[in-house]
Amino acid sequence: MVFLEVKRILIDPGSSANIIRWKVVDQLGLLDQIVPAARVLNGFNMACETTKGEITLPVNTAGTVRQTKFYIIEGEMRYNAFLGRPWVHDMRAVPSTLHQMLKFLIPEGVKIVHGEQPAAREMFAVEEAAPRSKALPLKAVEESVEDRDAK
């Protein structure tokens, strides 16, 4: 079996679905494997996204392969895919966001997969595009509020 490597995948135990971007499926050349299915997914900010279909893909995690159903969305997101609770439960895995690792059982014992912390830090680094403006001294702000109230 040939596996194609997809980078920037988030294991999100708070997500009730496994999600993959349309662009990734297209780049992998798997558009012919999409099963049409329109579902509405709600984000934590109550934003809604309608899926473009679903696809079942083999996910190889440190040598353990599971067939995983993904919902395909066209929207933009920082990651190429989210592995949510369905995948975490299927793997019988224990994710730790604090330690940036995932543990699951294999016949030989416990397998530990570490997250790529430097890549995560780089992805969420805030770049300052414009120089900071000087803040008004507190007294000047108070005076301007008083002046406004007096008018």
| CATH code: domain of residue 99 | 2.40.70.10
| DSSP label at residue 150 | H
Report the pLDDT value the prediction gives residue 41, as an integer from 0 to 100: 84
Predicted TM-score of the model (pTM): 0.72
Range of the domain at 34: 9-123
Q: How many domains does the chain have?
A: 1
Q: For residue 107, give the H/E element and its range.
A: none
At 142, is the pLDDT very low, low, confident or very high (cuts 50, 70, 90)?
A: very low
Count of Cβ atoms closer than 10 Å to residue 22 Cβ: 16
**Residue 49: φ, ψ to 5°:** -135, 125
Residue 139 lies in a domain: no
Answer yes or no: is 135 within a domain.
no
Give the C-alpha distances (Å, rounded to integers) separating 62 from 28, 87, 149. 21, 14, 65
Between these two residues, 122 and 43, which has the higher pLDDT value?
43
Taking residues 10-17, what's their average pLDDT?
Answer: 89
For residues 70 and 81, the answer to whether their CB atoms sit within 8 Å is yes
